[in-house]
Structure 1
Amino acid sequence: MARTPSNMLPLGTIAPNFKLKDTNSNNEYSFEDLKGSKGTLVIFICNHCPFVLHIINEIVMIANDYRVQGMGVMAISSNDVEKFPQDSPELMTEFAFQNKIDFPYLFDESQEVAKAFDAACTPDFYLFDEQNRLFYRGQLDDSRPGNGIPLSGTDLRSAIDALIYNRSLKEPQKPSLGCNIKWK
């Protein structure tokens, strides 16, 4: 199991715009279409990564908790599906259904969106403010497969709370850690 950290895109970076197909609805959406009134969470995931599988339920809970507060949420898979067919759009739809992902799960076939975000791993989290400026990039929490630390989502939840309630972030942002994006 690879252990690739986030690249930690500079805070304040403007969210790259894109148009990608949502494997849940078969509609195409841009960042602008999906952004929230209070901010926007973009999560790079895939279907087979053990790090994603470890936290997917917490991701869904966070999405459900914060979308009602004006947070836009979307997930993106950018893996090369020729080398990793388990990440194909058809299986993304199935994965979303099995894991109760009812927010857009977008397929980045060209991998241009992952490159624009400087995404490196799955999971990789990017939280943008209402002006589309990067407010947080980093980990969900300290839990990893097999390390015995319970899932809490504290790092990401604290960042979203700080954004929504106009607070400053207290701790340094730690990079996420996971499987590397499977580049073509």
Structure 2
Amino acid sequence: MALTPSNMLPLGTKAPDFSLIDTISDTTISLHDEKGTKGTVIMFICNHCPFVIHVNEGIVKLANDFMSKGIGFIAISSNDVANYPADSPDLMKKNAEKQKFPFVYLYDETQEVAKKYDAACTPDFYIFEEELTLAYRGQLDNSRPNNGIPVTGTAMREALDTLLKGEKISEVQKPSIGCGIKWF
């Protein structure tokens, strides 16, 4: 379990557009289909990473708490499924159903979207303002597998609350840490 930090895409970056297959509905979904009216969270996750497994319940709770406030949530898996079959689209769908994801779970088969976002790890989190300008990138909270700190989503909750108040999110942001994206 190698620790890989976020690359910390520059704040102010415009969200790169994409259209990917949603493994839950088996339909093509674009960024603009799922963007929120007040902001959008894009998460690079996968099925097998212990860091993602550790926070799954927390990201579902976060999404359930903020989607009704105009925040869109999009999860994307970009892992190489030939070498990591646990991350295949059919198992992504099963995992989404098991976890009760209230958001789409998209498959980035070519890894092009992960590269556009400079995603490095799972989980890797991004918050974009209403006009899809990057306002936050980094960790969900300080919890990690086996560190004894409960998953609360504190860092992202504070950032989303600040965004919803129309205030500027602090530029002091701590990178997410997780498994490196499995590139081919």
Cα displacement (A) at 1:171: 6.7
Deviation at 1:168, TM superposition (A): 3.0
TM norm structure 2:
0.98
1:167 Cα shift? 2.2
Q: Is structure 2 residue 166 aligned with structure 1 residue 166? A: yes
Question: Deviation of residue 152 (structure 1)?
Answer: 1.1
Work out the CA distance in 2 between the residues paired with 1:155 and 1:148: 17
RMSD: 0.8
Offset from partner CA, 1:97-124 (integer Å, 9 cap, x none): 1101121000000000000000000000
Counterpart Cα distance in 2 of 1:65 and 1:171: 24
Equivalent residue number for residue 75 of structure 2: 75
Runs of 4+, deviation exceeding 2 Å: 167-171
> Are 2:35 and 1:41 equivalent residues in the alignment?
no
Structure 1 position 8 matched with structure 2 position 5: no
2:73 counterpart letter in structure 1: V
The total of aligned residue pairs comes to 184
TM-score by length of 1: 0.98
SS state at 1:128 partner: strand
Deviation string for 1:13-32 (max 9, x for gaps)? 00000100000101101111
- CA apart distance, 1:7: 0.1
- Cα deviation for residue 2 of structure 1 reads 1.1
Query: Which structure 2 segments of 5+ residues have no match?
Result: none
> What is the 5 A alignment of 1:92-171?
92-170=92-170
Q: Where in structure 1 are there 5+ consecutive unaligned residues?
A: none
**Cα displacement string for residues 60-105 of structure 1 (whole angstroms, at most 9, x for unaligned residues):** 0000110000001010000000000000000000000110112100
- How far 1:33 moved relative to its partner? 1.0
